[in-house]
Amino acid sequence: MDKNKNESELEYYLWVDKVIDQLKGRKAKKHVVHGMWTPSGFFHIGNSRAELLIPAFVHQNLKINGLKSEHNFIVDDFDDFDKIPQGLEIKKEDFEPYLGKPLVEVPSPVDDFKSWADYFADGVVSVIEDFVIKPNILSSYDSYKKGLYDKTIKTVLNKSEEVRKIWNDITKSSKPKGWIPVMIVCENCGRSATTKVVSWDGKEVEYICNQHRDYVDGCKHKGKVKPEKGHAKLPWRLHWPATWHIYGTTFETAGKDHFAAGSSVETGHAFCRQIFKSQEPFQTPTEFLMVDDTKLSGSSGNVISLKDWLEFAEPELLRFMMASYKPKTVINFDLHSNKFFLLADRYEEAERIFFEKKDKKEKREKQLVEIYKFSQVNNIADKMPVQLNYSIAAIIVQTFPDKSLKELSGILHTRGWIHRKTLSSFDKERIEKRLELAKNWLDKYAPEDVKFTVQEEVPKGLKLGNKEKEALQLVVKALKEKEWKQKQLFEEFYNICQKVEIKNTDFFRAAYNVLLNKDRGPKLAPFILTLGKERVIELFEKV
């Protein structure tokens, strides 16, 4: 990173460099970077942007810049269970009795997990190391139980009138005098969503479980407890700033909806300063990550989780995507078109530039190099790794659907897709991994126009004109004559079209019709050479 940037040259290669410069202004002895998430449903790659990867890059960059930093991922498992998500194989009525209770007290929807919260948190915790993200994972429930929040709860109880004024002022609501924003876990029914604090004598709170929610009603129990050690908790608008105060958070982002006027960022900052007497963290809003033009929702079940990602792409590609885009930019990710290839292409371009020996790099090249560095999950190789383009991988696995990954890797070598003579074990692994990922992508996400099956026989009912037939026979003749290189064979196709007086488009369509039973396909010359001319000759001769 260039340490000599001056003020007038406020151009950063990466957004994360700008954040570090802004954080340097705080003069903190140690930075504390937070992500926070409620395990009520699936954690998807959209959540991973604001809550995991942006904080991870900031944490990483603080350390690169010689600053002390701690990275926490807070699992808000003490939050209420307020909705039963779709896409789960459960009986809704089995879970309805738990609505209004803390997520950590709700049974898991799947066997072998301690709770609802535990099951969904596992979807993050079990795979983040594959992305080389290693935050401290902190359960809010445990923190409240241990008494970490006790002081802040008492502060809110003691200053409830001041809290009420700030709350009403910023959110334009009209909470009545005497309103106390602390939630008690009902000793009778275990719900926290339905209780209301009635009084506070400095030691104990009186509460009544009589609140109505859309999904549940209180049990009418009246009780008195010490508001500590997990018997009480703070509502979101206070829980968030209390967490900043407790941990000394210096950086945290969040989805941009939290930043609207009157939203939890505005109240959070006010409570942090005026009630808890702390400085709020530096915060930048993070835009949404759209998949197929839709905002992902953890409660819909139709999401791409971190685990799903690892089935079709390398972890480096997710890191690359998140490091590339400024948090304030919407990411339009599209997994169902070959636009997805572009992400892989851009990553490989960055890799080539990184290894290119060139003294002066353009700004964009320098940017790509920095993004490439942030994308890595392993130590960077000594020399440029062998690249297998994603779209080529998708072609190879479809051309030879029955071959093993090892055999496919051999085919790539002998058919001219890989030029390096000997491959290191690292290269071999990387190529086989890419082939496996492409296979999974084709099975699960690929659009029809990318998919194909090489035909065993000339498709039944295929009608070709005389000129098309003649052109294909000339291809047979040419293939028999000699060994071709891609470029020459490509030129030969145009010679054949001229000779037969047929439009190029008609010729290519005829060839794909015979080979793939489709009007379009991968680039014909390299495809024929990869498939092997014998199979092509055999099919074309039967036309």
C-beta of 133 vs 209, nearer to Zn ion: 209
Residue 106 CB, shortest distance to Zn ion, in Å, is 15
DSSP character string of 159-175: THHHHHHHHHHHHT--P
For Zn ion (CB under 5 A), the number of binding residues is 6
d(CA 61, CA 33): 11
Q: Would you count residue 183 as binding Zn ion (CB under 5 A)?
A: no
β strands within 129-239, DSSP E: 136-139, 183-184, 195-200, 205-209, 222-225, 232-233
Window of 8-16, 207-215, 237-245, 337-345 that interacts with Zn ion by CB under 5 A: 207-215
Task: Say how far apart CA 453 and CA 401 lie, in whole Å.
Answer: 9
Q: Give the residue among 507, 525, 494 at the shortest CA–CA distance from 466.
A: 507
Residue of 444, 467, 442, 321 lying closest to 390 (CA atoms)? 442
Three-class DSSP category at 263: coil
Q: Choose between 218 and 526: whose C-beta lies nearer to Zn ion.
A: 218
Site pattern 505..534 for Zn ion (x: CB under 5 A): ------------------------------
Q: Which is nearer to Zn ion, 75 or 216 (CB)?
A: 216
Question: Candidates 15-23, 124-132, 211-219, 273-281 — which segment interacts with Zn ion by CB under 5 A?
Answer: 211-219
369 is a contact residue toward Zn ion (CB under 5 A): no
Report, in Å, the least distance between residue 55 CB and Zn ion.
36
Contact 198, 207 (CB under 8 A): yes
Are 130 and 52 a contacting pair, CB within 8 Å? no
Q: Does residue 101 contact residue 81 with C-beta atoms inside 8 Å?
A: yes
Cα→Cα distances 135→69, 71, 233, 251, Å = 11, 5, 24, 14
219 near Zn ion (CB under 5 A): yes
CB nearer to Zn ion: give 186 or 232.
Answer: 186
In this structure, the strands spanning 69-75 and 31-37 are parallel
Rank residues 210 and 299 by Cβ distance to Zn ion and give the closer one: 210
Stretch binding Zn ion (CB under 5 A), from 49-57, 202-210, 262-270, 486-494: 202-210
CA distance 17 to 5: 11
Q: How many residues does the chain have?
A: 543
Stretch that binds Zn ion, among 88-96, 186-194, 224-232, 374-382 (CB under 5 A): 186-194
Tell me the C-alpha distance between 474 and 476, whole Å: 5
Closest C-alpha among 72, 47, 54 to residue 18: 54
CB atoms near residue 121 (< 10 Å): 25
One of 23, 189, 205, 296 touching Zn ion (CB under 5 A): 189
CB of 418 closer than 8 Å to CB of 462: no
Residues 220-249 interacting with Zn ion (rule: CB under 5 A)? 221
Residues 287 and 331: beta-carbon distance below 8 Å = yes
Q: At what angle do helices 315-324 and 363-375 cross, to 10 degrees?
A: 140
SS3 43: coil
Nearer to Zn ion, 221 or 535 (CB): 221
Give the x/- contact pattern for Zn ion in 127-166, rule: CB under 5 A.
----------------------------------------
**Of residues 112 and 214, the one with the C-beta less far from Zn ion:** 214
Stretch that binds Zn ion, among 164-172, 205-213, 275-283, 409-417 (CB under 5 A): 205-213
To Zn ion, the closest distance from the beta carbon of 239 in angstroms equals: 21
Quick one: which segment of 203-211, 259-267, 281-289, 481-489 binds Zn ion (CB under 5 A)?
A: 203-211
Which range in 218-226, 279-287, 368-376, 473-481 contacts Zn ion by CB under 5 A?
A: 218-226
Helix (H/G/I), strand (E/B), else coil: 259: helix
- Does position 188 interact with Zn ion (CB under 5 A)? The reply is yes
Site string for Zn ion, 101-120 (x = CB under 5 A): --------------------
State the nearest-atom distance from the C-beta of 255 to Zn ion, in Å: 32
The stretch near Zn ion (CB under 5 A) out of 15-23, 184-192, 262-270, 459-467 is 184-192
Q: Among residues 397, 473, 386, which one has the least CA distance to residue 435?
A: 397
Q: SS3 for 232?
A: strand
Find the shortest distance in angstroms from Cβ 211 to Zn ion.
9
Show the site string, 300-339: x = touches Zn ion by CB under 5 A, - = not.
----------------------------------------
Which of 36, 170, 209, 232 is in the footprint of Zn ion by CB under 5 A? 209
* Binds Zn ion by CB under 5 A, chosen from 106, 121, 127, 186: 186
- Phi, psi torsion values for 282, nearest 5 degrees: -75, 130
The residues binding Zn ion (CB under 5 A) are: 186, 188-189, 209, 219, 221
